[in-house]
Amino acid sequence: MINALRGMKDLIFDDARRYRYVTETAARIAENYGFSYIETPILEETRLFKRSVGESSDIVGKEMYQFTDKGGNDVCMRPEGTAGVVRAFLQAKLDRQQGQKYRFYYFGPMFRYERPQKGRLRQFHQFGVESFGEKSVEEDFTLIRMLADIFDALGIRYRVLVNSLGCDVCRPPYRESLVEHLEGIRDELCDDCRRRIESNPIRVLDCKNEHCQELLADAPRLTHALCDRCAADFSRLQELLTSAQIPYTVDPNLVRGLDYYSGTAFEFVSDEIGAQSAIAGGGRYDRLVEFLGGRPTPGIGFAIGIERIMELVQMPESERRGWYFGAMLPDALGPILDLAHAKRLAGERAVVEYHPKGLKAHLKGADKVGARYCAVLGEDELAAGTIWVKDLVEKEERTVPIDQL
């Protein structure tokens, strides 16, 4: 037997229903916030991710599904959605429309060659949004509020963590002071952290190693080193969150695992799903468009990890819907095929059982497919031009002329 690859899962039955419910609910909310749907290819040039997500990130450094295609191109299955959307934004020359705002949402599979465990897959699904051209901190607040709305609509409890990662003005001097501090404790840090002192020292702050965290207790804090503009934005963001009654915590160690961020960063976490508790993450990336060759354009976005919230989603009761058609004799099959087709053309759901059988068996069949109406054509009805119907919700049954069904 051939099984799915390690870390890759089928979405079938209840999972498939949940996946659609999550994406439809989130898409509806994103549309209400003025976002429009975008779909970008799963395969992109490898250098897109190297330049945007960054070579020092785990995602690019260790986890890419990268290969050479038959044409000799170095390609990669997208590990996340932002890079492709920014590429599409540039390719459509939207960066040249200065002053315009563009807001997109997307969902679909992402690929990271990680060690699979609960909540961590190699193929997983995200719902994400990206907003271009709006630098106001009100936009940062609005994205966090949208995320809260989505989780509220899905019945999911969460905690919100926020941080500011600073900008080109305040980050370089902060980085220097952090490196100086890290050099002092270098020998005691874990191997990953030691490597990061050179490649991306700020990522040392979110090391999961407990000993490293103890050592970092008195490391300089970026939130204390923000420039006036970043500090003002960050405190305004907190004011807006407070007045919207979105409970949040400032987490100075929240640095996010992708290199493109600056300014506002945030994560939503759940305490109900174990170690992989981040259910969504995002932030500003005001330099990314420029970095990929476009005109300077501020950007901000987030992505939800759909598999991580799947079990938490409060699904509405699935309602009985549409028709089940059954025949009690072979001659009745032709007419029910046509009746079912007429229902479908009228926009209703209709399922046909092709094997003639007794009434009891048909009622069972209708129940199994979740139909509201069970319509059965027997010998007497066939002769009289009628059909027997039962409403499985109201528990009413009657025989009606076929043309009045």
List contacts with ligand HAM (CB under 6 A).
80-82, 112, 114, 119-121, 124, 126, 128, 130, 257-258, 278-283, 301-303, 305, 307-308
Which helix (H) or strand (E) segment holds residue 127: the answer is strand 123-132
Sign of CA pseudo-dihedral 22, 28, 30, 35: positive
Can you spell out the DSSP letters for 64-110? Answer: -EEEE-TTS-EEEE-SSSHHHHHHHHHHTTGGGSTT--EEEEEEEEE
Tokens of 107: 């969902």
Q: To the nearest whole angstrom, how small is the minimum distance from the Cβ of residue 278 to ligand HAM?
A: 4
* First and final C-alpha spacing in the chain: 47
d(CA 151, CA 302): 13
Minimum separation from the CB atom of position 71 to ligand HAM (A) = 27
84 or 365: CB nearest ligand HAM: 84
For residue 140, which of 300, 287, 304, 303 has the smallest C-alpha distance? 300
- Whether the Cβ atoms of residue 374 and residue 394 lie closer than 8 Å to each other: no
CB of 57 to ligand HAM, least distance (A): 9
As given in the structure block, the two tokens for residue 390 are: 């039962």
For ligand HAM, give the closer residue by CB, 80 or 381: 80
Nearer to ligand HAM, 158 or 302 (CB): 302
Least distance in angstroms from the C-beta of 82 to ligand HAM = 4
Tokens 């003005």 sit at which residue? 169
196, 188 Cβ separation under 8 angstroms: no
Do 225 and 176 meet the contact criterion of CB atoms below 8 Å apart? no
Choose between 78 and 171: whose C-beta lies nearer to ligand HAM. Answer: 78
Choice between 131 and 386, CB closer to ligand HAM = 131
Which residue's Cβ has the minimum distance to ligand HAM? 305
- Shortest distance (Å) from residue 128 CB to ligand HAM: 5
Tell the smallest beta-carbon distance from residue 283 to ligand HAM (Å): 6
- Closest contact distance (angstroms) between CB of 305 and ligand HAM is 2
With respect to ligand HAM, which residue has the nearer C-beta, 1 or 275? Answer: 275
Q: Which is nearer to ligand HAM, 303 or 350 (CB)?
A: 303
Q: Residue 299 and residue 86: Cα distance in Å, rounded?
A: 9
- Please report how close the Cβ of residue 400 comes to ligand HAM at its closest, in angstroms: 51
Residue 170 vs 309, nearer CB to ligand HAM: 309
Rounded Cα–Cα distance for residues 246 and 251 (Å): 15
